[in-house]
Structure 1
Amino acid sequence: MTQSIALLGEYTPTFPPHLSTNAAIEHAKAASGLDISADWVSTADIDQTLFDRYAGIWVAPGSPYKNVDKTLAAIRLARENSIPCFGTCGGFQHMILEYARNVLGFKDAQHAEYDPYASNLFISQLACSLAGREMQLSFEPNSRVAAIYGAMTDTEQYYCNFGINPDYVDALKQGPMQIAGADAEGEIRVIEWPGHPFFIGTLFVPQARSTPEQPHPLVSAFLKTVVNQ
């Protein structure tokens, strides 16, 4: 039986991260023979049947999304019900927002793209844009991400102008979410939920480095988790 994943976001055929998302899925499928399909689903179209139709979600780059509340609700359902969830770039940012609101108790936690003057701004505009930059990462020992990469460091590409507000790093570290990777300056770039089959968010865009010869390990691991659930 073919499993399906939902690519949550506002698909734009001229947006490079969306094209690389499609390509990375095909790379992983071809290399491993996975029987899986992927559909783009606008965040405005998320409803209560989402997880009846899809066995996993990839919260894609390209925010602001049309419907933040529906996006956060889908992330929460995936987190609480062991449904594979992968978030890259904007997806990572919204996974942080969901965590802040529903785990840490900051009900008014906000993202600067939607409300730049919010009192609890967990996601803020980066002082220096990361769009188009490659940066080295270090992974936490014993993290799921380190195991997937089979290494403690790697270099990844970014496509974002927003990230975690430094004022809220200490608050984020108070809960169960694991900070699984950081850049050379110690900034949080990878998160994962302990004990979950696959709940990983990256501020970078791993799909940008995927090739037919070398599918990205995170994409492959996500799809394999969906198929083997």
Structure 2
Amino acid sequence: MARYVFITGGVVSSLGKGIAAAALGALLQARGYSVRLKKLDPYLNVDPGTMSPTQHGEVFVTDDGAETDLDIGHYERFTGRSAVQADNITTGRIYKNIIDKERRGDYLGATVQVIPHVTNEIKDFVIDGNEDYDFVLCEIGGTVGDIEAMPFVEAIRQLGNDLPRGNAVYVHLSLMPFIAAAGELKTKPTQHSVKELQALGIAPDILLVRADRPIPPEERRKLSLFCNVRSTAVIQALDVGSIYDVPSAYHREGLDTEVLAAFGIDPAPAPRMSAWEEVSARIHNPEGEVTIAIVGKYTGLKDAYKSLIEALNHGGIANRVKVNLEWIESEVFEQEDPAPYLEKVHGILVPGGFGERGAEGKIAAARFAREHKVPYFGICYGMQMAVLDAARNLAGIEDAVSSEFDRNKGTAVVGIMTEWLKGNQLEKRAANGDLGGTMRLGAYPHPLKAGTRIAEIYDSTDVSERHRHRYEVNIDFKERLEEAGLVFSGMSPDGLLPETIEYEDHPWFIGVQYHPELKSRPLDPHPLFASFVGAALEQSRLV
């Protein structure tokens, strides 16, 4: 039977519960255990799919088409296990499920209440489908004391009693701030946070304490005494140079040892940490560096591009180089010449996005990369903007636009496809449908044309990648664009949806309709990002 680790947070948000959960999962895997990670999000949205990237960060998409919290991406990157819809749930989906059941009469006329109906729904989510795993790590979003998180905290309290004795362990992540005026690290915020958790019926087994400097032994003893936690279970979580240093750092501090001891697993299998040590060595001892310009529209919040940043770092790991990122708001290129911004970079990446704002600047970036032979990687929207550059400046379609801009102006070289095949099933969407319903979401297979650069990079012509977009390159213009030199190197199996483009006469110019960054991992960098960073390294020798 699976053992459960429940991870809560206190004092402030953004302490890194997702990284902590993912790193603990990686440590348990290093000891030979199978692991599953789940995330409980307290917000009322059914999923983050319609939330602004500048407010919530990126939306991480799974193979089965779930739009999930960005922490799910950390789980995948650290454990290598592909997440599914059932690994992330929100208050919105919990209540939607309950209301649907109530309307159907499933509760047989009972008064539907937070306890037991909401908490039972949460518990069902936590324990379902875990038969094949040794450990299930469940992260509760937000901080202890948040009113919206109360049902989740109550549900995991109940699970502590519902599960067999010794099958649930509680890890609480807290903050120990340094007060410069006093010259001291302060334990009181953690004490109050644990007191709040205890008042809700949960006594943490392990304290994971974030700090920016080593915690003195006397302060750790104080936390142990006042928080009713074994002294060895007060684990300091110090800042590190890279998130990929976290598994090794937590192992040195004894987190995985304490978790296993809390379950009565002693002695535990020895961990194999060599892979993570190699990743850290490559990060901290690069043999060179490259600069990549990211021309986007959400550059004010880097979490909007979290998986993209990490995938570029993975490309750096694969090539043993440091990847420096030059963030450029695409609207700048609608007013200014891109040359001063781009002539010194070694690669240009235009990421995904939605809406017309900044589109012309992205087209200008694609044109600069094409004309100046700078490695270019266009992802989703970035591919579409490269196609519009080709249409306008090579194929003579001067008024080429996307119908996402204005359906009544210009020639829609990019638009909404209303039907396509996914396997043997016909899928449909409407321009005026719910925002979530108009998306092409999840993993789609697509063959690559043999002999193309992208097929060589994948070392295969059979590829499946994750999608999240509404608009497609209009197949009606494919022949004309090909005559102008644009190569459509990958198409959907039914031949209706362009998936990848490239130029034969360019050192490295690839656009993809999907999001390869979602499948890149530090121990297994995505081949496109490894190749792109490699091309940037070659470019750095020319600049």
| Fold agreement, TM-score > 0.5 | yes
What is the deviation of 1:113? 1.5
Distance (whole Å) between structure 1 residues aligned to residue 486 and residue 477 of structure 2 = 14
**Does 2:387 align with 1:96?**
yes
Distance (whole Å) between structure 1 residues aligned to residue 461 and residue 399 of structure 2 = 35
**Does 2:87 align with 1:87?**
no
Distance (whole Å) between structure 1 residues aligned to residue 318 and residue 485 of structure 2 = 34
Distance (whole Å) between structure 2 residues aligned to residue 227 and residue 197 of structure 1 = 12
Q: Which runs of 5+ in 1 are unaligned?
A: none
The 8 Å contact of residues 9 and 63 in structure 1, kept in 2 or not, is answered as no
Among residues 310, 313, 318, which one is paired with 1:23 in the alignment? Answer: 310
Equivalenced residue count is 227
What is the deviation of 1:213? 1.7
**Does 2:529 align with 1:219?**
yes
Q: Deviations over 1:154-211 (max 9, x none)?
A: 1100011111123323322332111111111112110000121110000011111111
Show the counterpart of 1:78: 369
Bigger fraction of residues in helix: 2
Give the 3 Å change call, closer, same or farther, for CA 65–220 of structure 1 in structure 2: farther
Show the counterpart of 2:292: 5
TM-score of the pair, normalised by structure 1 = 0.92
What is the deviation of 1:30? 2.1
Show the counterpart of 1:193: 503
What is the deviation of 1:226? 0.6
Q: Percent identity?
A: 26
Among residues 314, 328, 331, which one is paired with 1:41 in the alignment? Answer: 328
Letter in 2 for 1:79: R
| C-alpha RMSD over aligned residues | 1.7
What is the deviation of 1:23? 1.1
Letter in 2 for 1:43: S
Give the 3 Å change call, closer, same or farther, for CA 13–131 of structure 1 in structure 2: farther
Matched residue SS, 1:22: helix
Letter in 2 for 1:60: P
TM-score of the pair, normalised by structure 2 = 0.40
Distance (whole Å) between structure 2 residues aligned to residue 57 and residue 33 of structure 1 = 19
Among residues 337, 345, 357, which one is paired with 1:54 in the alignment? Answer: 345
Structure 1 runs (4+) greater than 6 angstroms displaced: none
Q: Highest CA radius of gyration, 1 or 2?
A: 2
Matched residue SS, 1:118: coil
Distance (whole Å) between structure 2 residues aligned to residue 19 and residue 180 of structure 1 = 27
Q: Deviations over 1:5-38 (max 9, x none)?
A: 11111124454xx211011011221233123211
The 8 Å contact of residues 35 and 227 in structure 1, kept in 2 or not, is answered as no
Greater CA drift, 83-92 or 125-134: 125-134
Distance (whole Å) between structure 1 residues aligned to residue 417 and residue 453 of structure 2 = 27
Q: Which runs of 5+ in 2 are unaligned?
A: 1-287, 419-428, 430-437
Q: Deviations over 1:55-109 (max 9, x none)?
A: 2100110133533333222211211121101001000010010000000011100
